[in-house]
Amino acid sequence: MSRILYTFITLLFTLETIAEISVIPAPLSIKETQNEYRSGTKIEICYNPLLKNEAEYLQSIFTKEGLQCALATGIKTKNSIVLDLSSKIKGKEAYSLETSSQTIHISASSPTGIFYGIQTLRQLIRIDNKQIVVPGVSIQDRPSFPWRAFMLDECRHFKGKECVKQLLDEMAFLKMNTFHWHLTDDQGWRIEIKKYPLLTQIGAFRDSTQLENSRSNKYLQKPHGGFYTQEEIKEIIRYADRLHIRIIPEIEMPGHAGAAIASYSWLGCTDKPIPVPCKFGVNYDILDVTNPEVYSFIEGVLDEVINLFPSPIIHIGGDEVKYDHWKASSAITQYMEKNKIKNPAELQIDFTNKISRMLSQKGKRMIGWNDITGDKIHNFQAEDETGSSAQLAPGTIVQFWKGDSTLIRKTLEKGFDIVNSYHIYTYLDYTYKKTPLEKAYSFSPIPENIPAELKKHILGLGCQMWTEWLPTCESAQKMIFPRIAAHAETGWTAPESKNFTRFSNALQGLLKHWDKVGIKYGDFK
């Protein structure tokens, strides 16, 4: 045999082996063994009684494949899949997965770790004649970052609970643990608040929708709207909880408040009635942060949000506040003079800290986009409007999305935790030409030159789907997938183990999975 032919055959064998055990996100350690597992025609899942949810979840996966699967409590070492808790596995989300000819054994210290082991198992399984076949592997795995988030904007275009549940399913498959739900904005209020019924009676519906881009004068002359009842919110939270995904709601303030002001005009600085905005981009209407009734409104909204969402963290937005209405308001001017507030950025920090204290008293922690730091990050901001010596309230989480990366270090040095969502890598509504898959994959949540002692305060990353120009679930999916897989791997896999070639090869398995479950993905090549 010629050396060239031998090399070619060896390469083919190697690629086949890699493909066979490829997993996204890539595990911390995966070793091949000779212990291939092949089930009988009837599969038995043996589980610790504390893992009933996870065992039933795995059973449902097999049932969908047309496989017979029984459940049994306790540990059986032959002809079974064993789900077991072990204090030897360190970390809530860590797990181990071991195969032998007779058993697949998934161990973790918590149900969450077991659940992630199941997601890895799903990618390893091959079905052959009503049997499952899993290659011989020994996997030890845990995530790099504790915060691995996907955000869905439903204000610009309402998607509905079935679309959300499908996205949650795929987040779970990729071991993402945080669903950031953008529920209020200028163009729509999407969550029922019983104390303020006009928020959904008026604020959830607009007359038309801007088309093409934010500078366009073309509009789709057709009403658009929708919202989630509190019962529907609870249903989705229960669904996510079974998938070990926490949901963090975002209630925008003090800007991006057009839908709220359209519902209750006294929330704004002019007290003039406005329609729910149909134009996208940055609007001028913002909350009057000197009005005590505005704070009563916010507290009433947040009380109902907190009663719905078990998340310890609430997102208050805080981005893209245009200060025109504040600068034109005599009440705002008098308040700033009385409280020695130098500029609008300091006024926003003053407001943000009041909301932070309000949430803290209710046992919640606040997160907001990095506009809340007072730094200048937008071209529409004048130099004298930004820059502040005022300090954000302790415990605030800053979600970085825009500006020079040096602002991350500046914020860390002030003692704040950060979620890195730098838009040029993580905005999923950007075209594949602007943010190709490889660029998305190259993102590192920790910028260069961050001192070691500060790195632990970068909690992780978020990737965002803004829906101004993506009206349907299918059109959004084509932009989300496959780039969400790149961000999932960045959040989970150790940086030194990331490899785009290996990821691209493994992606073929995900594409087959998405085809099977009806997910549309974009033309990313």
On whether the CB atoms of residues 188 and 206 are closer than 8 A, the answer is yes
Residue 201 token pair:
């009676």
Residue 217 token pair:
């004068």
Tens of pLDDT along the chain (525 residues) come to: 444 443 343 334 333 443 457 899 999 999 999 999 999 888 899 999 999 999 999 999 999 988 989 999 987 767 899 999 999 999 999 999 999 999 999 999 999 999 999 999 999 999 988 889 999 999 999 999 999 999 999 999 999 999 999 999 999 999 999 999 999 999 999 999 999 999 999 999 999 999 999 999 999 999 999 999 999 999 999 999 999 999 999 999 999 999 999 999 999 999 899 999 999 999 999 999 999 999 999 999 999 999 999 999 999 999 999 999 999 999 999 999 999 999 999 999 999 999 999 999 999 999 999 999 999 999 999 888 998 788 999 999 999 999 998 999 999 999 999 999 999 999 999 999 999 999 999 999 999 999 999 999 999 999 999 999 999 999 999 999 999 999 999 999 999 999 999 999 999 999 999 999 999 999 998
On whether the CB atoms of residues 205 and 169 are closer than 8 A, the answer is no
Closest by Cα among 468, 467, 471, 484 to 522: 484
Kindly state the helix (H) or strand (E) to which residue 170 belongs, with its residue range.
Answer: helix 161-173
Cα–Cα separations (whole angstroms), residue 304 to 253, 310, 404:
16, 11, 36
Phi-psi region of 14 (alpha: psi -120 to 50; beta: other; left: phi over 0): alpha
DSSP character at residue 25: S
Strands, E, within 143-222: which ranges? 147-153, 178-182, 184-185, 188-189, 205-206, 209-210, 219-220
Closest by Cα among 462, 448, 444 to 498: 444
The dihedrals phi and psi of 182, each to the nearest 5 degrees, come to -85, 100
Query: How many Cα atoms within 13 Å fall on the side-chain side of residue 56?
Result: 7
Residue keyed to tokens 């366009």: 216
The dihedrals phi and psi of 27, each to the nearest 5 degrees, come to -70, 160
Radius of gyration (C-alpha) of the chain in whole angstroms: 25
Measured between alpha carbons, how far is 407 from 15 in angstroms, rounded to an integer?
43
Pairing outcome for strands 313-315 and 42-47: unpaired
Measured between alpha carbons, how far is 47 from 212 in angstroms, rounded to an integer?
53
Residue keyed to tokens 């209405």: 325
Those residues with Cβ within 8 angstroms of residue 103's Cβ, 6 or more apart along the chain or in another chain: 37, 77, 78, 79, 80, 81, 82
pTM of the model: 0.95
Closest by Cα among 145, 175, 137 to 36: 137
The dihedrals phi and psi of 366, each to the nearest 5 degrees, come to -100, 140
- pLDDT of 451: 96
DSSP character at residue 65: T
Strands, E, within 21-174: which ranges? 29-32, 37-38, 42-47, 68-73, 80-85, 95-99, 103-108, 126-128, 131-134, 137-141, 147-153
Measured between alpha carbons, how far is 485 from 506 in angstroms, rounded to an integer?
11
The amino acid at residue 137 is V
Residue keyed to tokens 């190697």: 14
- pLDDT of 8: 42
Environment class of 334 (CB within 10 Å of its CB; exposed 0-12, middle 13-18, buried 19+) = exposed
DSSP 343-399: SHHHHHHHHHHHHHHHHHHTT-EEEEEGGGG-----TTS-GGG---S--PPTT-EEE
Count of residues for the chain? 525
Phi-psi region of 317 (alpha: psi -120 to 50; beta: other; left: phi over 0): left
Q: Mapping DSSP to helix (H, G, I), strand (E, B) and coil, where does residue 184 land?
A: strand
